[in-house]
Structure 1
Amino acid sequence: MAIETLSDAISTTFGSLCIASALPFIGIPFPSQAWATYYADKNRWMSKLSNGRLTPKQAGYVGALLRVAVGSCCIYQPTRVAALLINGAIVCRGTVVAYRDKRPMRPQWTMLSAVGLCLVLEQLNL
């Protein structure tokens, strides 16, 4: 399998998963109720981080919109690297804040690993 095909397949899968992960941000229990519960807690935490400028529901919609935007840009090859770099920066910041607040770290490491894999494959594809 050519590296270009592998890179496209993995980035498209990552983008599709990003889009699908917007659902629990807005309270839809996909793929399970546990995900919706996790994201409801995350939305409350993000609301708290905004110093009350966002309600938990608004924070969820912001998170969902960001996931859809990043996912779409990861699927579309010309915008892929920019989307991955912006998402990586956001997730890096979120990882530091999550660690400080003693939040679950596994989702942070998973997202950072996925972004890193996609970026490495894009670089190998040059």
Structure 2
Amino acid sequence: MHPFSDFVSITFGGLCIASSLPFIGIPFPSRAWATYYADKNRWLSQLSGGRLTPKQAGYASALLRVGVGSCCIYQPTRVAALLVNGAVVSRGTMVAYRDGRPMRPQWTMLGAISFCLLLELL
């Protein structure tokens, strides 16, 4: 089970790193993703009470994704990264629900984090 867990967590980490690109305006893998994340950056900026511009919110989110992704790839920090990411995404899910935001991305991310954690525990 350990090699499968490594494969899944490394893949998740790589996807986290790749998913940082739309946060900074790079249309990867499609323009629709960049549009979705531009809207999310505006929303995150509003949540910050105006302390962050949408661009700053996007860069902060991208840095978080790259950090989490890197820590998921590196086995000794994997569980801690998944737990921290799970806490951030759980809080974001509650706020997204409250604000009527799309929930599918939230549930997908929570499911992926849970799956990786489950495999680490087996």
Q: Which residue of 1 aligns with 2:83?
A: 85
Q: CA deviation at 1:15?
A: 0.2
TM superposition score normalised by structure 2: 1.00
Q: CA deviation at 1:34?
A: 0.3
- Out of 103, 107, 125, the residue aligned to residue 105 of structure 2 is 107
Please give the alpha-carbon distance, in whole angstroms, between the structure 2 residues aligned to 1:39 and 1:13. 21
The amino acid of 1:12's aligned partner reads: I
Q: Which residue of 2 aligns with 1:18?
A: 16
The amino acid of 2:23's aligned partner reads: F
Q: Which residue of 2 aligns with 1:94?
A: 92
- Out of 37, 40, 45, the residue aligned to residue 39 of structure 1 is 37
Report % sequence identity: 78
Q: For structure 2, which runs of at least 5 residues remain unmatched after alignment?
A: none
SS of 2:51 mapped into structure 1 = coil
Within-5 A mapping of 1:40-79: 40-79=38-77
Please give the alpha-carbon distance, in whole angstroms, between the structure 2 residues aligned to 1:41 and 1:5. 38
Q: CA deviation at 1:6?
A: 0.5
Residues 1:8 and 2:6 aligned together: yes
1:40-92 deviations in whole A, cap 9, x for unaligned?
00000000000000000000000000000000000000000000000000000
Q: CA deviation at 1:32?
A: 0.1
Please give the alpha-carbon distance, in whole angstroms, between the structure 2 residues aligned to 1:62 and 1:94. 14
SS of 1:22 mapped into structure 2 = coil
